[in-house]
């Protein structure tokens, strides 16, 4: 049976009042169990505020501001004295604002199925070109004037990118498992497939009938497929060189830690991608929108795609890598690499900042002449029709070295040393750091490429280890302070940063960050934060009294912060916020990291850093 969007919205509403992951899991799980397989796939995208996975360019591109203007105009035309902007200010949320005025909007009420909603949303996505804001506005208004208050509320939250249910992909894997076994028994299996496909709807498509044996069989059948990105394998941190040996055993693989942009390089033919069935495929518009995942642009049907760790399709940004990958005499592969700006005359890499200038959509040609690049290949996931992610890292690297040997254009195989002593490891570390690298990545011989996973089989050793902190911390900004003196004139003097508390499924604010930010950057930050200000702390944020900011913002922007050390305040710990941890002398390294909120540093990780340093 087709489920109604209204029923789903009721579940969303209940989810808003639940914080615990277990309760969220069972609530969502019970609902999915009543839905058909098509709706389950759609819902999986919707809970993430999307209609397709992240690697498919399918944004709504419709801002809260446009919606406010649209409705203000609507009410003005109807001579109604309603100002959406001020209601939005009062309620702190665009969905709640629409909910309040929804009675005034309705002309005739129509109930819609989830499938119908999916179609409307795709229509909005596919509206582009000149006058598209207006045309999207018409579609939205059409919906809002013929629906119920609760549907209106969640619909606009989805379209304006404001749906934050706290159902991260990890929790969704638990939900999927719940629908089959009533617990987390299959969560790891679902996670593996999510890692291999980076597509939550595709994972959901395996839930057919919720029959355990059948689901397991289907899940095990899934491999990485070139053309579709794979979640990047992540790395752990340790406190000392000795710990590397303790964790990895007698012998380990050592590579430089290149400081550029993570890049997955896929080469494939049409046949490869035709095999994967995904519901969003039917809605993809033509190639001119850049949605050319399934279209071949060369006569021999060979295609190359480049993806960042964030699943962004950056194929058009590095044409030389595409060309060179096509030239390689291997039909299909997936390579994992770090791309760096490169000085070919000196055969050396350029700074991170220079490399990042290549990440652009326009005038690619001009910039690529000025800033050439090289992708340092450090892993191989797939070759000649075979998924090799289950093979040990040492085997994959051996294959990489053998098959890609001698290639040295915009692609080059990174050196991998096989090392067995801590003293040698230290020596290599010093040498690489002196050459300007960020440090080392040390990898265990055994173990497959676990997509999207972070564990001690891959370990980073960073320069910053020499100082107080063994790693930088990625936080989400949840508020800001006006500051004093000169800063007060700017209207902002520091940010309030939070780490992710996985257990409580919330963001724990742990410190103020006011250093390392120029006036210009502060101005830009203020501008960006203005758009997401809220009157009260959002429910998914925890803070101690001493850190209360002057202005709260919705958790959205991720920052990277360096500090002298991680400290712990027992009195704060009593309140349970961030395990009592804080940062000493924090300073901003990067504003607006392109990272998902579920990827920021967790309280557990910060505790590891704290304890590693103490020991
Ligand atoms: P994290 O969220 O994993 O802490 P981060 O964005 O803060 O990551 P780093 O701490 O700098 O990144 O370390 C991980 C990144 O290092 C990888 O995502 C990858 O882009 C990069 N990297 C550089 N060299 C290598 C290598 N040889 N092997 C694996 N990753 C490498």
Structure-block tokens of residue 64: 């809260």
If asked whether residues 477 and 455 sit together in one domain, one would say no
Question: How much is the pLDDT for 574?
Answer: 61
Residue 231 DSSP symbol:
P
Q: Supply φ then ψ for residue 400, to 5 degrees.
A: -60, -45
User: Residue 235 Cα, ligand 1 centroid: separation in angstroms?
Assistant: 7
- Residue 392 · residue 457 · CB < 8 Å: no
If asked whether residues 327 and 359 sit together in one domain, one would say yes
In 10 A of CB 104, how many CB atoms?
A: 13
Give the separation between CA 327 and CA 411, rounded to whole angstroms. Answer: 11
Answer whether residue 437 is part of any domain: yes
Cβ(235) to ligand 1 under 6 A? yes
Among residues 440, 466, 492, the one where a domain terminates is 466
Q: What pTM value is reported for the model? A: 0.89
Give the separation between CA 32 and CA 30, rounded to whole angstroms. Answer: 6
Answer whether residue 19 is part of any domain: no
Give the separation between CA 176 and CA 32, rounded to whole angstroms. Answer: 8
SS (H, E, C) 38-60: HHHHHHHHHCCCCCCCCCCCCCC
Nearest CA to ligand 1 atom 4: 235
User: Residue 590 Cα, ligand 1 centroid: separation in angstroms?
Assistant: 15
Stretch (H or E) spanning 214: helix 212-220
If asked whether residues 559 and 588 sit together in one domain, one would say yes
- Residue 336 · residue 381 · CB < 8 Å: yes
Residue 528's CATH number:
2.40.50.140
Cβ(400) to ligand 1 under 6 A? no
Cβ(255) to ligand 1 under 6 A? yes
> Residue 455 burial (CB < 10 Å; 0-12/13-18/19+)?
middle
Q: Write out pLDDT tens, residues 351-387.
A: 998 999 998 888 888 888 889 999 999 999 999 999 9
Q: List CB contacts of 246: < 8 A, sequence separation 6 or more.
A: none
Structure-block tokens of residue 335: 């390579």
Strand extents, DSSP E, 326-464? 333-343, 348-349, 373-383, 386-387, 411-413, 417-419, 439-444, 454-462
Give me the catalytic one of 136, 153, 189, 257. Answer: 257
Cα dihedral value 216, 218, 221, 225, nearest 10: -130
Stretch (H or E) spanning 261: strand 261-269
Give the separation between CA 382 and CA 36, rounded to whole angstroms. Answer: 34
Answer whether residue 398 is part of any domain: yes
Question: How much is the pLDDT for 58?
Answer: 92
Q: List CB contacts of 362: < 8 A, sequence separation 6 or more.
A: none
Number of independent structural domains in the chain: 3
Question: How much is the pLDDT for 291?
Answer: 43
If asked whether residues 297 and 365 sit together in one domain, one would say yes
Contacts 24+ apart (CB under 8 A), 430-436: 432/256, 432/257, 433/463, 436/348, 436/349
Give the separation between CA 20 and CA 585, rounded to whole angstroms. Answer: 33
Structure-block tokens of residue 380: 């191989």
If asked whether residues 430 and 412 sit together in one domain, one would say yes
Question: How much is the pLDDT for 108?
Answer: 83
To test the pocket of ligand 1, the residue of 259, 336, 460 to mutate (highest count of ligand atoms within 8 Å of its CB) is 460
Structure-block tokens of residue 209: 């009938």
If asked whether residues 422 and 365 sit together in one domain, one would say yes
If asked whether residues 572 and 429 sit together in one domain, one would say no
If asked whether residues 318 and 433 sit together in one domain, one would say yes
Structure-block tokens of residue 520: 């210009």
Question: How much is the pLDDT for 288?
Answer: 46
User: Residue 337 Cα, ligand 1 centroid: separation in angstroms?
Assistant: 10
Cβ(375) to ligand 1 under 6 A? no
Answer whether residue 273 is part of any domain: yes
Residues of the chain scoring pLDDT < 50: 287-291, 296
If asked whether residues 269 and 406 sit together in one domain, one would say yes
Answer whether residue 276 is part of any domain: yes
Answer whether residue 8 is part of any domain: no
Rg of the chain over Cα atoms, rounded to whole angstroms, equals: 25
If asked whether residues 400 and 450 sit together in one domain, one would say yes
Query: Which atom of ligand 1 is least distant from the CA of 378?
Result: 27
Question: How much is the pLDDT for 294?
Answer: 57
Nearest CA to ligand 1 atom 31: 257
Bridge partners, residue 376, by sequence:
338, 412
Cβ(233) to ligand 1 under 6 A? no
Residue 121's CATH number:
1.10.3260.10
Residue 402's CATH number:
3.30.470.30
Cβ(378) to ligand 1 under 6 A? yes
Residue 316 DSSP symbol:
G
Answer whether residue 134 is part of any domain: yes
Question: How much is the pLDDT for 300?
Answer: 66
Q: Supply φ then ψ for residue 279, to 5 degrees.
A: -75, -25
Answer whether residue 356 is part of any domain: yes
If asked whether residues 446 and 499 sit together in one domain, one would say no
> Residue 22 burial (CB < 10 Å; 0-12/13-18/19+)?
middle
Query: Which atom of ligand 1 is least distant from the CA of 257?
Result: 24
Provide the domain limits for residue 556.
473-614
Bridge partners, residue 552, by sequence:
479, 534
If asked whether residues 387 and 523 sit together in one domain, one would say no
Give the separation between CA 446 and CA 249, rounded to whole angstroms. Answer: 10
Among residues 466, 489, 521, the one where a domain terminates is 466
| Residue 493 CA, distance from chain mean position | 28
- Please say if 257 is a catalytic residue: yes
Dihedral sign from CA coordinates of 408, 410, 411, 412: positive
Question: How much is the pLDDT for 289?
Answer: 46
Can you tell me which residue has the tokens 């909120």? 597
Among residues 431, 466, 501, the one where a domain terminates is 466
Question: How much is the pLDDT for 292?
Answer: 54
């Amino acid at each position: 049976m087709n489920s109604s969007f209204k029923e789903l919205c009721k579940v969303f509403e209940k989810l808003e009042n639940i914080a615990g992951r277990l309760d969220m899991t069972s609530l969502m799980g019970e609902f999915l169990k009543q839905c058909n397989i098509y709706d389950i796939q759609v819902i999986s995208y919707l809970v993430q505020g999307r209609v397709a996975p992240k690697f498919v360019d399918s944004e709504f591109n419709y801002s809260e501001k446009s919606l406010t203007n649209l409705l203000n105009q609507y009410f003005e035309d109807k001579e109604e004295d309603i100002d959406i902007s001020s209601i939005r200010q009062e309620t702190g949320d665009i969905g709640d604002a629409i909910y309040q005025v929804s009675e005034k909007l309705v002309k005739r009420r129509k109930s819609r199925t989830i499938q119908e909603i999916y179609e409307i949303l795709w229509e909005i996505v596919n509206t582009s070109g000149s006058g598209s804001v207006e045309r999207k506005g018409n579609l939205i208004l059409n919906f809002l004037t013929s629906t119920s208050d609760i549907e209106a509320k969640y619909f606009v939250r989805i379209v304006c990118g404001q749906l934050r249910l706290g159902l991260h992909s990890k929790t969704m894997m638990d939900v999927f498992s719940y629908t089959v076994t009533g617990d987390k028994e299959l969560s790891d299996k679902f996670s593996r497939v999510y890692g291999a496909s980076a597509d939550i709807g595709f994972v959901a498509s395996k839930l057919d009938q919720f029959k355990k044996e059948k689901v397991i069989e289907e899940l095990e059948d899934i491999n990485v497929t070139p053309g579709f990105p794979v979640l990047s394998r992540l790395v752990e941190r340790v406190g000392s060189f000795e710990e590397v040996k303790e964790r990895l055993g007698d012998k380990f693989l050592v590579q430089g830690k290149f400081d550029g942009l993570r890049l997955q390089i896929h080469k494939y033919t049409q046949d490869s991608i035709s095999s994967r069935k995904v519901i969003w495929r039917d809605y993809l518009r033509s190639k001119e929108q850049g949605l050319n995942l399934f279209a071949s642009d060369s006569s021999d049907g060979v295609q190359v795609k480049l993806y960042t760790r964030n699943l962004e399709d950056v194929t058009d940004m590095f044409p030389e890598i595409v060309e060179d990958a096509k030239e390689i005499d291997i039909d299909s592969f997936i390579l994992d690499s770090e791309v760096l700006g490169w000085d070919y005359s000196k055969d050396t890499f350029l700074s991170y900042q220079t490399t990042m200038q290549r990440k652009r959509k326009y005038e690619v040609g001009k910039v690529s002449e000025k800033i050439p690049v090289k992708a340092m290949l450090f892993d191989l996931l797939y070759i000649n029709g075979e998924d090799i992610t289950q093979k040990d890292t040492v085997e994959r690297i051996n294959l990489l070295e053998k098959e890609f040997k001698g290639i040295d254009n915009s692609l080059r195989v990174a050196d991998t040393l096989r090392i067995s002593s801590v003293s040698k490891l230290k020596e290599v570390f010093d040498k690489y750091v002196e050459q300007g690298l960020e440090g080392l990545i040390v990898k265990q011989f055994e173990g497959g490429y676990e997509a999207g996973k972070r564990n001690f089989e891959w370990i980073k050793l960073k320069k910053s280890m020499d100082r107080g902190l063994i790693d930088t911390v990625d936080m989400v900004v949840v508020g800001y302070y006006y500051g004093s003196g000169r800063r007060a004139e700017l209207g902002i003097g520091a940010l309030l940063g939070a780490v992710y508390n996985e257990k409580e499924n919330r963001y724990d604010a742990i410190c103020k960050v006011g250093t390392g930010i120029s006036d210009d950057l502060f101005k830009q930050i203020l501008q960006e934060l203005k758009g997401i200000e809220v009157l009260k702390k959002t429910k998914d944020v925890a803070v101690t009294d001493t850190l209360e900011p002057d202005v709260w913002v919705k958790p959205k922007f991720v920052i990277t912060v360096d500090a002298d050390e991680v400290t712990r305040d027992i009195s704060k710990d009593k309140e349970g916020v961030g395990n009592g941890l804080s940062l000493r002398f924090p300073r901003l390294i990067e504003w607006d990291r392109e990272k998902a909120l579920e990827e920021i540093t967790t309280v557990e990780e910060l505790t590891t850093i704290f304890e590693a340093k103490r020991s």
